[in-house]
Chain A
Amino acid sequence: MPRRNDIKKILIIGSGPIIISQACEFDYSGTQACKALREEGYEVILINSNPATIMTDPETANRTYIEPITPEMVAMVIEKERPDALLPTLGGQTGLNVAIKVADMGVLDRFGVEMIAASASVIRKAEDRDLFREAMRNIGLRIPNSGIARNMDDVRRIAAEIGYPLIVRPSFTLGGTGGGVAYNREDLEKMAASGLDLSMIHAVMLEESVIGWKEYELEVMRDVKDNVVIICSIENFDPMGIHTGDSITVAPAQTLTDREYQMMRDAAIAIIREIGVETGGSNIQFAVNPENGEMVIIEMNPRVSRSSALASKATGFPIAKIAAKLAVGYTLDEIPNDITRETMASFEPTIDYCVVKIPRWTFEKFPGAEDYLTTAMKSVGETMAIGRTFKEALQKGLRSLEIGRYGWGADGKDSYERSRTLPSMAEIEEKLRIPNSQRIFYIRHAMLAGLDTKKIHGLTKIDPWFLENMRQILDVERKIQAADKELSEDLLHQAKKTGFSDYQLGYLTGRTEDEIRSQREKAGIIPVYKLVDTCAAEFEAYTPYYYSTYEVEDESRPSERPKVMILGGGPNRIGQGIEFDYCCVHASFALREEGYESIMVNSNPETVSTDYDTSDKLYFEPLTKEDILNIIAKEKPMGVIVQFGGQTPLNLAVPLARAGVRIMGTSPDSIDRAEDRKRFQTMLQKLGLKQPPNGTATAREEALAVAQGIGYPVVIRPSYVLGGRAMRIIYDDQELEDFIESAVRASSEHPVLIDKFLEDAVEIDVDAVSDGQETIIGGIMEHIEEAGIHSGDSACVLPPHTLSPDLIDRIKKDTKAMAKELNVIGLMNVQYAIKDKDIYVLEVNPRASRTVPFVSKATGIPLAKVATKVMIGKTLRELGLTTEKEIKHIAVKEAVFPFDRFPGVDTLLGPEMRSTGEVMGIDESFGLAFAKAQLAAGQNLPLSGTVFISVRDKDKMAVVPIAQKLANIGFKTLATRGTAAFLASNGIACETVHKVSEGRPHVVDHIKNGAIQLVINTSLGASTTRDSYKIRRATLDYRISYTTTIAGAKAIAAAIEAMLQKKLQVRPIQEYHGLQNNAGLKTGTGINPE
C-alpha cells in the first residue's frame, strides 16, 4: 500500500528532558522519524522541551515547539497547527502518556486529529495491566499471577492470594518507578503505598515473583497489512528481578534452541496482533523458567523504546525510521533496506557477531542511595560493544564504560589488588546474591576465590553459559600471567581475540600498554574491521558501519578523500550526556557540508551520533587510546576532533597527540594551559584577570593551612574532574578535616584544589567560538541559583537579566582576551562569578560545553557547526559570523534531577552535579520563560494556594519582598516560628506551623495533606538539618513545587505573577529565529539567514 495522501501534517511528541529510563534514544528515534516523514513529503510538527536534541534543531521538523510537554501545551500546539495526525509512539513513555491525556481531553476529536500507529485504546490495552492480562489470556499466553490493587485493602487481599516474594509494579510510571520486590508484609505496605501514589491511574499490580528466571526481549514490527517481523532477540545476562535497563544484555539470544526461540517469536506475533498495534515497533519481554522452559509474558511496550534503539544499533535495522514510514501506510515489503539496497525491510535481520550492552550507574553521585539493583531502573546511561565472541564483546563493553576499567578486571584497578587479598567470602557471596553495579567484577573475584559455576549460578541466577564464557576469559588471563614477559605471539593473538586490551596485557605481564602495542604491531596482530550489515554477509552492504575484531579479513574501505575523525562521548552519565552527542553530530554535519569525510567513533547505542547515516563512516568502538589509535592507523584521517565529546575524548587529547595524531582546533597544550592550575593562574595574571583566592594541597595539614589562609568558606575538589565529582563547600576546619579524610584522600599524585567560595555571587556561563583571530560570543547565561551550585544543576537565563551593560561588555572583553591568549580554535566556555561588580574567572574550558545546544537553540546560531568549520580552516568572517546576535526573547534553561529514583537521597543542590537532563523555556519575558522551564521540568507552579516559607537567618531580609509579592497575588503564607515572626514584623500576614522537630501537626503533615502548594526553604549548604531534609523529601514525594534558594524563590514568584497576568502561549522556534517557512533548509554556511 503506498503512502497515505489523506494526511499532510503530522505532530510528533518528543520525550522531553533526559531522565533515568528516557535518554537520548528518543532523540535518535524522533530524529529518524522526522527525517523519514519529511522525506515522504509530510509536514512535521514537533513538540519537545529538550533543547539538547537534534530533533529540536530548526532544520529537523518543519515547525518545532520547544515547549513543556504537558497535555495543555500539546493541545495548544494542536489548536494552532491543526495537524491531520498525531504519532505518539516515538517520544517514549512521556509521549505516550501525554498523547493519551490529550485524547482523553477530547482535543483530538475536536480538531479531527487521527492518532496513527497506535490508537489510545491500543496504548491502554498494552499499558494497563488488567487489560493486558485479559488480552494475554485471550491468546492462551500466561503472565505471572497477579492482581491489580487500587487501594491498600486490595493490596493486602491480593498479596494473601499470591504469596511472597511478590513484585509491586505501579501502573503508568517510568522505568518502574516505585516498583520493587516485597519479601514480606512490611516491604509490601511501604512499596504499595508509594506505588499507588506514583501511578497515574492510582493502581499497582502485585505479581507472582519470577525472580531468577531467564529474561528475554523481542523487538517486533508490524505493518498495516499485518506483516510482522522480529528485528532482534535479546537475552539478559542478569535474570528477572533487575530492570532490563539495569541489566547487562546480549544480542542475539544465546541459550534458546530454535524450537524455544520460535515459540517466543510466535507469542510475540500473537501479542502485537492481539494488542492491536496497527503499525510500528513494539518491545515484548519474556521470562523463561531455566528448569523447564516454561515461558511467561512480562510486558509489552507498544512504541519504540530503549531496547529498540539498542536493537537498531545491534542489527543495523533502523526501527524508528521504518516505524515512521509504516505509520503513514507503507508496508514492510515496500520499504528498501538502506544497508543492502537490493532487499526490502520485510525480513528479519540476522547477525554474525555478539552484542553486549552494559548499563552505566552513578551511585557515587547520590550519597545515601544504596548500590543495589531492583525492578526500578537506576542507571543513567549505557554502552554497547560488538565482538565476534561474547568474551570479546564483554571486555570491549567494560572498557567502554568510562569507569576507569580496561576490561573484565586484570587491570590493577580492583580495590583488592592493592592489598593482594580478595574480598572475604561473605562479601563476595553477598555481592553476588544482591544485584549491584559491581556484581560483574565480583563474579571474577568469586572465580578467583575458587567458587565454581554452579555455586555462582546459585547465588546470581546468571545463566551458566555466561559464567562459563567468563571463566574462559579468566583461563586466558591465567595463561598470560603465567607467560609473563614470555608472552608468545600465539597467546597474544588469543588474548586479543578474547577481548583483552593492551593495558590489561601490560598489567598482567609487567609492561606498559605501549610496549604491548609495539609487540603486537611487530607481530602483525592488528584488528580488522567488519561490517554491521543486517544480513550476516549474505548481501553486499553499502552502509559503512564497522566494529573491530581480531580475525583474518578486513572489510573497511578507507577512501582517498580528506577526512576528519570525531570522538564521541561514550555512555551517558551525569555531567556528560546528550549535549555532547549533539555537538558531535553537528560536527559531522558540518564536515559533510564542507566536503570532508566524517568518521564517527562512539560506543553509546542511544545516540544520534551512532546512527549509521549521521556520518560517512561509523566505528562502533570503545573510546580508549588503543581502540582509537587502531582506527587511525586504518583510516589515516587528517585530524581528530576531541573537543565535542566531553571529558572522555578530551582526556585522550594528550595521549593521542603524543602518538602523533593531529588534534583539530585548539591545541592540547592550550587545553592543558586551561586545566593546569599553575599555568592557568599565570595566564590570568598576564591578562590582568581575577580569580577567587585559591591554593593546592597534597596533604591534610597543608589543606588546613591553605583554607585558613584564604578564609572560609572554601570550595574543595580533586583535580581534573568533570561534573563536580566530590566537590564540596566547606565552612570550617572540622568539616575540612572530615571531608579530606572521608572523601578525597589528598596525595601528591592527586592534589586537592581549594578555592575561596564567593558567597552570594552571581555565576555566569559564556560560550564563545574563535578562529584564532576573531572571537564571537555565542551567549552569556546568568545562573538563577547563586554560585556554589554546579553550573549543570543551576537554572540559567539568556540573555542575563540582572547584569549591567557595562558588566556584560567587560565579560565579553575578558572572554575574548582569554580566547586569544589560549589561541582557541573552536569552542570555549568560561565560567565567571560576579560579586560586588568584580568579575572572577572560575574556569575556562576550551571545548564544547554542556550549554552549547541551549545557546544554539536560544539564539539560532549553530555554534558547534561553526566551530567545526573553523577547525578545518574557515574563518568566522568567511562563515558570515561577524557580530554577536542580540535576541529579543528570553530563554531559560532548567535542570532535571533523578531524585525520585533514589529514595532517601537529599535533594539539596550543591557543587556536585546531579541532574540528568535539561529543558528550555522560551518566551518574551523572564517570568514566562522561567514558568515554561519549570513546567517542562515537571514543577507545576501553583497559581494560588499556600506558600510555606522557612529560611535561614541571612536570607530573612531577602525573602521579604518575595513573600510580599506572593501575598499580593493571593497566596496565603505559612512559616516556621522564626521566619513567621520576621515576616510579620515586616508587615506580611502569616500563620505559624511546627517544624518537624516541634511536634505534630508539623509542616510535613501539611504537605501530605495537600495544604501547601509551594515551599521556599533555604538552609546552610553543608550540615543539613533533619528538618529541612524531611521537608525536601516530602515535597518531592508529593510533587509540590519547591526551591532551596532565594534566587530560585524570586524567579518562581516572577513566574507565577507572569502566568497570572498572561496565559502561556506556544510559538515555534523557527519564528523566534525568523525562519518562517522552514522548507527543509540547509545551513550551508552554518549560519541561519537573518
Chain B
Amino acid sequence: MKALIALEDGRIFSGRSFTGRGEVYGEIVFNTSMTGYQEILTDPSYKGQIVTMTYPLIGSYGINSEDMESRRIQAEAFIVKEYQGVPSNWRSAQTLKDFLEKYNVLGIEDVDTRALTRHIRLAGAMKGVISTEDLDPASLIKKAKDSPGLVGRDMVREVTCSAPYIWEDCPVEGAAAPKGNALRVVALDYGIKFNILRCLKNSGCEVIVLPATASTRDILALEPDGVFLSNGPGDPAGIPGVVGTIRDLIGKKPIFGICLGHQLLGLAFGGKTYKLKFGHRGGNQPVKNLLTGRVEITAQNHGFCVDVSSLDEKEVEVTHVNLNDQTLEGMRHRHYPVFSVQYHPENAPGPHDAAYLFDQFAALMKERG
C-alpha cells in the first residue's frame, strides 16, 4: 500500500506500508545501529518520534520475547528500506510486521532511507507525517507543520509508569518488601528501559521504580541507597517539577543518571540544555572517558544535550566527551556522589563497553552507605 512521508520543510518521500493503513505524525529521526530494531522500537525515549533505520534490511531475525525494552512499541512509526518478512533466528517468535500490527504502529518500506537520513543530517531533525490515507503532498506538509513537535513538550508523562513497581526480571507491581541486604535503588521512571533495570539488578541492586512525579519524600521514605534517574523521551526543559526533586536529592543520596536523567541532572546543577541538529542515535558513538583516557564505543539515543559551558566548573566535572562532536557525554559532581552519562551504558541495542558504570554506581552506594 502506497505511503507518503511529508516533512515540515516540504520534502516528500514515498514508500509502501507493510503493516496496513494509517496516518501518524512525529519527529523524524534516524538510527544507525545495524542490529537492535526490537529494542529501539520498544525504547520509551522514542515516544513522539518516527524512527528511520539507516541499515536497509530490517526484520531479518524477527521479534523475540526477551529483547523488550518496555512493555510495548513506543516509536510512532518505523521506516525501512526493505522489510524482511521471513525471519531466521532461533529466538524469533514472530515477524516484525505482526509485532508492529499488534501495537497498531505503521511500518513503511521501500523508502530511500539514505536520502531521508542525509536530508535530516543537512536540514536537522524535523516534524513529519506518514500517511497511507492522504496522499496529497501539500495537505501532508501542512499537517506536518501543524503537528506539535517535541520542543518544550512533556513527553515523559506519556511513558512513565502509573504506579510503583519492583523489578524481578519483569515489572512486578505492589509494595516493596522490607529492606534487606541488597543495595536498594529507587529508579525514577521518565521512560526507563528494562535493560537498565536488568543491569542494576546484575550489579547487586534491588530496584523500585517510581513514577516520574514521585516526590522527594516518597523517594526517601523507601530508604534507598541510591537514586537512579532514567532515560526518557523529549525535551528535558519541558518536564515540570522533576528538576526540583532531583535538586533536593543531591547531597542526600548517591545519584546516577542516564540520558534524559543526565540532562535533568544538568538542569538541576543549574545548567542549560539545547537541541542538537539531528541528535545521536546509534551504536557506534565514540566517547572518551577523561578519567582513564580510554575510548568507549557507546549506544546513544538523544536529541537534546547539556550545554557544557552552562555548568559551573567548580561544582561539576566533565568526565566523558563525545569524540565526534566534542559534546558533553558524562559529568560528576565534585563534592557529592552524583554522576551521569548522556549515552546508554545499558546498551540494548549497542556495545557493552560502558557497562562498568553500573558497578561504579553500586560501589559508590556501598562507599556512602
Give chain A's interface residues, CB within 8 Å of chain B.
225-227, 229-230, 233, 252-262, 265-266, 290-293, 331-333, 342-344, 346-354, 388-390, 453, 463-465, 468-469, 530, 535-540, 551-553, 555
Contact B294 A293 (CB under 8 A): no
Given A342-B324, A464-B88, residue A352 in contact with residue B55 (CB < 8 A): yes
Given A255-B89, A259-B67, A350-B34, residue A536 in contact with residue B114 (CB < 8 A): yes
Q: Which single residue of chain A is at the shortest CB-CB distance from B59?
A: A465
Indicate which residue in A261, A389, A468 contacts B81 across the interface (CB closer than 8 Å).
A389
The docked-state distance in angstroms from the alpha carbon of A465 to that of B88 is: 5
The docked-state distance in angstroms from the alpha carbon of A353 to that of B36 is: 17
Q: Which single residue of chain B is at the shortest CB-CB distance from A251?
A: B34
List of A residues within 8 angstroms of B245 by Cβ:
none
List of A residues within 8 angstroms of B324 by Cβ:
342-344, 347, 539
B90 within 8 A of A: yes
Contact A347 B32 (CB under 8 A): no
Minimum-distance CB pairs A-B, first 9: A258-B36, A258-B349, A553-B115, A536-B54, A465-B88, A552-B112, A258-B35, A348-B284, A468-B86
The docked-state distance in angstroms from the alpha carbon of A1029 to that of B118 is: 63
B92 to chain A, nearest CB (A): 8
The docked-state distance in angstroms from the alpha carbon of A255 to that of B121 is: 29
Contact A347 B88 (CB under 8 A): no
List of B residues within 8 angstroms of A351 by Cβ:
34, 55
Q: Which single residue of chain B is at the shortest CB-CB distance from A226?
A: B294
Contact segment of B173-181, B186-194, B285-293, B357-365: B285-293
List of A residues within 8 angstroms of B294 by Cβ:
225-227
Contact B114 A551 (CB under 8 A): yes
The docked-state distance in angstroms from the alpha carbon of A342 to that of B118 is: 17
Contact B32 A465 (CB under 8 A): no
B319 within 8 A of A: no
The docked-state distance in angstroms from the alpha carbon of A555 to that of B112 is: 12
B351 within 8 A of A: yes
Interface size on B, residues (CB 8 A): 52
9 other A-B residue contacts (CB within 8 Å) besides A347-B285, A552-B13: A229-B295, A262-B347, A346-B297, A347-B297, A348-B283, A388-B56, A464-B88, A465-B84, A551-B112
Contact B86 A464 (CB under 8 A): yes
Q: List 23 A-B contacts (CB under 8 A).
A: A252-B55, A255-B88, A257-B89, A259-B66, A265-B351, A331-B295, A348-B283, A348-B284, A348-B351, A352-B32, A353-B56, A354-B56, A388-B81, A390-B57, A464-B88, A465-B86, A468-B86, A469-B84, A536-B54, A537-B54, A538-B117, A551-B112, A551-B115
List of B residues within 8 angstroms of A344 by Cβ:
286, 323-324
Indicate which residue in B39, B61, B323 contacts A255 across the interface (CB closer than 8 Å).
B61
Interface residues of B in 338-369 (CB under 8 A from A): 347-352
List of B residues within 8 angstroms of A347 by Cβ:
284-286, 297, 323-324
List of B residues within 8 angstroms of A333 by Cβ:
286, 288, 295, 323
Given A254-B57, A259-B67, A265-B351, residue A348 in contact with residue B114 (CB < 8 A): no
A139 to chain B, nearest CB (A): 15
Q: Which single residue of chain B is at the shortest CB-CB distance from A497?
A: B110
Contact B82 A389 (CB under 8 A): yes
A598 to chain B, nearest CB (A): 26
Contact A258 B67 (CB under 8 A): yes
List of B residues within 8 angstroms of A552 by Cβ:
13, 112, 115
Binary A-proximity of B245-285 (CB < 8 A = 1, otherwise 0): 00000000000000000000000000000000000001111
Binary A-proximity of B179-216 (CB < 8 A = 1, otherwise 0): 00000000000000000000000000000000000000
Contact B118 A537 (CB under 8 A): yes
Given A347-B297, A464-B86, A530-B114, residue A257 in contact with residue B32 (CB < 8 A): no
List of B residues within 8 angstroms of A464 by Cβ:
86, 88
List of B residues within 8 angstroms of A540 by Cβ:
121
A213 to chain B, nearest CB (A): 12
B229 to chain A, nearest CB (A): 24
Contact A537 B114 (CB under 8 A): yes
The docked-state distance in angstroms from the alpha carbon of A889 to that of B347 is: 63
B64 within 8 A of A: yes
From B35, B117, B349, B352, name the one whose CB has the most chain A CB atoms within 10 angstroms: B35
Contact A258 B348 (CB under 8 A): yes
Indicate which residue in A293, A352, A390, A469 contacts B54 across the interface (CB closer than 8 Å).
A352
The secondary-structure label for the interface of chain A is loop
List of A residues within 8 angstroms of B350 by Cβ:
258, 262
The docked-state distance in angstroms from the alpha carbon of A433 to that of B55 is: 33
Given A348-B297, A350-B32, residue A293 in contact with residue B91 (CB < 8 A): yes
Contact B35 A261 (CB under 8 A): yes
List of A residues within 8 angstroms of B112 by Cβ:
551-553
From B66, B114, B121, B349, name the one whose CB has the most chain A CB atoms within 10 angstroms: B114
B199 to chain A, nearest CB (A): 13
A535 to chain B, nearest CB (A): 7
Q: Which single residue of chain B is at the shortest CB-CB distance from A344?
A: B323
Q: Which single residue of chain B is at the shortest CB-CB distance from A257?
A: B61
The docked-state distance in angstroms from the alpha carbon of A351 to that of B295 is: 21
Interface residues of B in 106-160 (CB under 8 A from A): 112-115, 117-118, 121
Interface residues of B in 306-339 (CB under 8 A from A): 323-324
List of B residues within 8 angstroms of A252 by Cβ:
34, 55
The docked-state distance in angstroms from the alpha carbon of A484 to that of B351 is: 50
B9 to chain A, nearest CB (A): 16
The docked-state distance in angstroms from the alpha carbon of A469 to that of B82 is: 11
Contact A553 B286 (CB under 8 A): no
B104 within 8 A of A: no
From B86, B89, B295, name the one whose CB has the most chain A CB atoms within 10 angstroms: B295
List of B residues within 8 angstroms of A468 by Cβ:
86, 88
The docked-state distance in angstroms from the alpha carbon of A258 to that of B121 is: 25
The docked-state distance in angstroms from the alpha carbon of A257 to that of B82 is: 17
List of B residues within 8 angstroms of A551 by Cβ:
112, 114-115
Q: Which single residue of chain B is at the shortest CB-CB distance from A331?
A: B295
Contact A266 B352 (CB under 8 A): yes
B20 within 8 A of A: no
B193 to chain A, nearest CB (A): 13
List of B residues within 8 angstroms of A354 by Cβ:
56-57
B171 within 8 A of A: no
Contact B295 A227 (CB under 8 A): yes
B118 to chain A, nearest CB (A): 5
Contact B35 A536 (CB under 8 A): no
Contact B323 A346 (CB under 8 A): yes
The docked-state distance in angstroms from the alpha carbon of A261 to that of B349 is: 10
List of A residues within 8 angstroms of B91 by Cβ:
257, 293
Contact A257 B295 (CB under 8 A): no
Q: Which single residue of chain B is at the shortest CB-CB distance from A387?
A: B56
Indicate which residue in B90, B121, B288, B348 contacts A538 across the interface (CB closer than 8 Å).
B121
Contact B57 A389 (CB under 8 A): yes
Contact B351 A255 (CB under 8 A): no
B33 within 8 A of A: yes
Given A293-B90, A346-B295, residue A553 in contact with residue B34 (CB < 8 A): no
The docked-state distance in angstroms from the alpha carbon of A389 to that of B55 is: 10
Given A354-B56, A468-B86, residue A258 in contact with residue B118 (CB < 8 A): no
B89 to chain A, nearest CB (A): 6
The docked-state distance in angstroms from the alpha carbon of A577 to that of B115 is: 37
Contact A229 B55 (CB under 8 A): no
The docked-state distance in angstroms from the alpha carbon of A912 to that of B214 is: 83
Contact A553 B118 (CB under 8 A): yes
Binary A-proximity of B81-104 (CB < 8 A = 1, otherwise 0): 110101111110000000000000
Q: Which single residue of chain A is at the shortest CB-CB distance from B349?
A: A258
List of A residues within 8 angstroms of B38 by Cβ:
257-258
B294 to chain A, nearest CB (A): 6
List of A residues within 8 angstroms of B297 by Cβ:
229-230, 346-348
List of B residues within 8 angstroms of A530 by Cβ:
114
List of A residues within 8 angstroms of B84 by Cβ:
465, 469
Given A254-B60, A257-B89, A538-B121, residue A349 in contact with residue B284 (CB < 8 A): yes
List of B residues within 8 angstroms of A225 by Cβ:
293-294
B274 to chain A, nearest CB (A): 19
Given A254-B57, A262-B351, residue A536 in contact with residue B115 (CB < 8 A): no
